[in-house]
């Protein structure tokens, strides 16, 4: 469970996918592929992105809903709380004035 979460976050491409889903919710596989190619110069196959999404979904970071032939993907950052909760954080949040 926690293992899946950290493993999902380990890959930079997957983190970029999370970034894109944070910026625009409910994207399809092809939309994400297009964004990765144009905005991040990531020439990657559709299947590769699909496999990344499967990993992210297994970690609970992405939820998907099917509508007709489309499959929309949504970001869920709730599992990220487990990370900060595991180890004690220092008091000062490093405020930049």
Partner DNA sequence: AAGATAGGCAAGTGCCGACTTGCCTGTCAA
Partner DNA sequence: TTGACAGGCAAGTCGGCACTTGCCTATCTT
Residues in contact with a copy of itself by the rule CB under 8 A: 2-3, 6-7, 9-10, 12, 15, 18-19, 22, 75, 77-78, 80-81, 83-84, 86-90, 93-94
The set of residues, in sequence order, having a beta carbon less than 8 Å from that of 79 and lying 6+ positions away, is 5, 59, 60, 61
| Residue 37 binding target from DNA, a copy of itself, none, CB below 5 to 8 Å by type | none
Residue in 69, 89, 91, 94 binding DNA, rule: CB under 7 A = 69
Shorter beta-carbon distance to a copy of itself: residue 7 or 46: 7
66, 28 contact by CB (below 8 A): no
């Amino acid at each position: 469970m926690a293992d899946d979460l950290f493993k999902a976050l380990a890959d930079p491409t997957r983190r970029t996918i999370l970034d894109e889903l944070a910026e625009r919710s409910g994207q399809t596989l092809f939309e994400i592929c297009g964004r990765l190619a144009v905005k991040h110069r990531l020439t990657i196959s559709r299947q590769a992105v699909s496999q990344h999404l499967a990993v992210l979904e297994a970690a609970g970071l992405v939820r998907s809903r099917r509508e007709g032939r489309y499959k929309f993907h949504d970001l869920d950052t709730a599992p990220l709380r487990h990370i900060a909760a595991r180890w004690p954080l220092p008091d000062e949040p490093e405020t930049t004035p």
